[in-house]
Structure 1
């Protein structure tokens, strides 16, 4: 288990429409625009033409999506100068800010901001089109709709003047964009632990099957290579997802024990095998010979890790972005001497900062690396680069084989995506690694 801490200090558009066609996602909604009081202008009512696009319409839960909000036409007009002057609004003094309303699988609002980028506008003329961008983290699988919300147009000449445009509360704003998110893949944490690694034919071995859904029907069975043997017993997982059984081992071919849900073992619903040796105690023939037996005792599967804290790089308050770091190096030692491989998984909690503000754990991703020491019988495969999250992900694994074992060095670079304007301070989460 490790503690992670982070410190905080242009989007892609959809394809253009053919001439005369309405671009995909372009909508209109009624708005009420209040000019700055200093301008001495009446409110302006009328339709706003807008368009929202996303850079990734098919993300995974935990991905960061960039959204672009374009106001193509607004009823708001350029404010007059102090005392009703007729000076024009100069170029590049208009800062737009808006909000996008999320609904469906995920609800909430996304704040978007635009750069000061406008042509000169005569006093009293309609304000120009503006483009605003922002990001948000996808937190739920399924379809999420995006609708344009209110926006403000702030000019800094000849003084600070802000025009505020709100959507008509009676008429719901039309949906301008959609995205469909898929759920994060979940790690298989099912495992078996044996009370003994060897025994005589007909002996009973205590087996703990863990990591199953509460109430699941669990089969504990013997295995010889990829095939099951005749040794088998069934049980029901308790409220903690654990089944405790005694497995009679009568088949001399049994070399491992597995546990699984359903009619047969599968990689998604079954545990990895735990090595077990049946000791042949057949007496030698009656003659002048003696049977000599030497036993190599199996060892254990374990891991050690350097350090208990991971400090991520700092990001700036306004920009947000990637906070990089590296987990403490993990050394996995497999001295069991059987056919069972192993897997090392990790999961992370949400990052909690000042005032209870959270950054989702799904915002943390990693790129694993794994190296087998010289002389190891097994190969070591790193997990895929991607999101860690609260549901977990594979850090590294070694496959089953006729005889496996060895020493393996595992590490990973990690990156936390921090949203822009996340309040400054330290944000802390807990990363838990599980070896099975």
Structure 2
């Protein structure tokens, strides 16, 4: 029994040397010379509670700290690394015993405000020199990461921190703060929005004056939409107005009387733009009175009608299973979407297509959410041998709730509204993508699910 008591006193002595706050709240000098004032350095009141078994009273005094970020202008969906440096703290080593090197492991929090609220958990590596008896505790450096989820200015302010003692559970000094000022700021920019507007025609040809049924999708719900004929980059006289329904769909009957019309587009606003307009759908005005051929010759015409399958899509499997990530690591979970097969038997010039995807937030246990912008992909697309079409994969990068292009073919709308390539774009295509989900550090354990929606237009 006496040996046990002596062992307990030895443990208590080490705990006090490592973590106890000085009675009366004396503030020791920083572990290293700080030099001139650094941008973002702040000072704020701190209340430190030493380990209960030390028997020492709480210590109150100022903490001097500074917060920095590795990316002051991230895009929404980007990961930001936060560094929380404490140069001076009220907690000191008041005992005659020396504090061994690397005995303290600090953890803390950084408060977010402005366009994004919440807290970032930061952790230190526990690296410091021995601390002589009575000297100030060493300077602390803690890091953590978070995902920028909203555009606008985000403020970062230091919050409380805890000094954990290695090999001595329960011997922690807990320091809380009141009214800590903003130490750093960053400005998040929004992700570019994908334009998912598209139109399709009930028929691809007709005589002058024929009324064609135009169906559109991807428009702003309730928005006025102009459906117009087009010849190259210019609009023709064919035009009709419509209104998008609650789902963003449009349906209109367009009389085509202008013989120059070679395509039909739809757009919001006063004029077509790559941001608010659909790509062109090809249309041919048939000449009702062809010129008679010369005597002794005959005109021969062969018609290839659109295939019965039109434009169809199928996908292998209904679920994507991502890799596992260890708690606290903030690693990336890899995976792969089910292979998509696209059959295009419509024929005709510039009858291309675009396959886009968007992902919802991931929902985990107790309603914990991971932003959909944490998912990125690397698309691939292959055209089957013998088909006239060529397939171009989308750019590698963030998917997110706003959507991104997975693949496209010649004839799909381009950024300037032009059509890419005149040859027929039909055929059979296979599309897939490697996906990576970036899990924020210290995300609560559990299974997280989301919905990845693919749209073919």
TM-score after normalising by structure 2: 0.84
Aligned counterpart for 2:79 among listed residues 54, 59, 64: 64
User: Following TM superposition, by how much is the alpha carbon of 1:159 offset from its aligned partner in structure 2, in angstroms?
Assistant: 6.2
Aligned counterpart for 1:403 among listed residues 412, 423, 427: 423
Q: Which residue of 2 aligns with 1:339?
A: 350
Choose 1 or 2 for highest CA Rg. 2
User: Following TM superposition, by how much is the alpha carbon of 1:214 offset from its aligned partner in structure 2, in angstroms?
Assistant: 2.4
Q: Which residue of 1 aligns with 2:229?
A: 222
CA offsets 1:52-110 (integer angstroms, 9 cap, x no match): 11111111111111111111111111364xxxxx3222111111011001000001111
Q: Which residue of 2 aligns with 1:49?
A: 64
Q: Which residue of 2 aligns with 1:4?
A: none
Q: In 2, distance between residues paired with 1:283 and 1:388?
A: 51
Query: Where do residues 346-425 of structure 1 align in structure 2 (5 Å cutoff)?
Result: 346-399=357-410, 400=419, 401-407=421-427, 408-425=429-446
Determine helix, strand or coil for the equivalent of 2:366.
helix
Determine helix, strand or coil for the equivalent of 2:450.
strand
Q: In 1, distance between residues paired with 2:171 and 2:259?
A: 86
Deviates more, 1:247-256 or 1:341-350: 247-256
Superposed structure 1 runs of 4+ greater than 6 Å apart: 286-290
Contact map agreement 2:351 2:426 (CA 8 A) in 1 = no
Higher relative contact order (CA 8 A, sep 6+): 1
Q: Which residue of 1 aligns with 2:214?
A: 207
| Structure 1 residues 267 and 159, CA gap change in structure 2 (3 angstroms) | closer
CA offsets 1:385-410 (integer angstroms, 9 cap, x no match): 21111111111223423233033332
- Structure number with higher strand proportion: 1
Give yes or no for the alignment of 1:96 onto 2:106: yes
Query: Where do residues 250-329 of structure 1 align in structure 2 (5 Å cutoff)?
Result: 250-282=257-289, 285=292, 292-299=300-307, 300-329=310-339
Q: Which residue of 1 aligns with 2:161?
A: 151
User: Following TM superposition, by how much is the alpha carbon of 1:378 offset from its aligned partner in structure 2, in angstroms?
Assistant: 4.5
Q: Which residue of 2 aligns with 1:431?
A: 452
| Structure 1 residues 225 and 329, CA gap change in structure 2 (3 angstroms) | farther
In structure 2, list runs of 5 or more residues that go unmatched.
1-32, 411-418
Q: Which residue of 2 aligns with 1:5?
A: none
Q: What is the Cα-based RMSD across aligned positions, in Å?
A: 2.4
Aligned counterpart for 2:200 among listed residues 171, 180, 193: 193
CA offsets 1:396-430 (integer angstroms, 9 cap, x no match): 22342323303333222110011222222221111
Q: In 1, distance between residues paired with 2:362 and 2:290?
A: 63
Deviates more, 1:67-76 or 1:247-256: 247-256
CA offsets 1:187-235 (integer angstroms, 9 cap, x no match): 1111112222332221101112221112322111122333333222122
Paired residues, number = 411
Q: In 1, distance between residues paired with 2:75 and 2:322?
A: 23
User: Following TM superposition, by how much is the alpha carbon of 1:124 offset from its aligned partner in structure 2, in angstroms?
Assistant: 4.0
| Structure 1 residues 121 and 342, CA gap change in structure 2 (3 angstroms) | same
User: Following TM superposition, by how much is the alpha carbon of 1:117 offset from its aligned partner in structure 2, in angstroms?
Assistant: 1.5
Q: In 2, distance between residues paired with 1:245 and 1:180?
A: 43
Q: In 1, distance between residues paired with 2:380 and 2:275?
A: 23
Q: Which residue of 1 aligns with 2:28?
A: none
User: Following TM superposition, by how much is the alpha carbon of 1:163 offset from its aligned partner in structure 2, in angstroms?
Assistant: 0.8
Contact map agreement 1:95 1:153 (CA 8 A) in 2 = yes
Contact map agreement 1:110 1:136 (CA 8 A) in 2 = yes
Aligned counterpart for 2:36 among listed residues 12, 17, 21: 21
Deviates more, 1:344-353 or 1:268-277: 268-277
Q: Which residue of 1 aligns with 2:253?
A: 246
Determine helix, strand or coil for the equivalent of 1:118.
coil
Q: In 2, distance between residues paired with 1:178 and 1:202?
A: 61
Q: Which residue of 1 aligns with 2:97?
A: 87
Determine helix, strand or coil for the equivalent of 2:161.
strand
Q: In 1, distance between residues paired with 2:94 and 2:169?
A: 11
| Structure 1 residues 251 and 334, CA gap change in structure 2 (3 angstroms) | farther
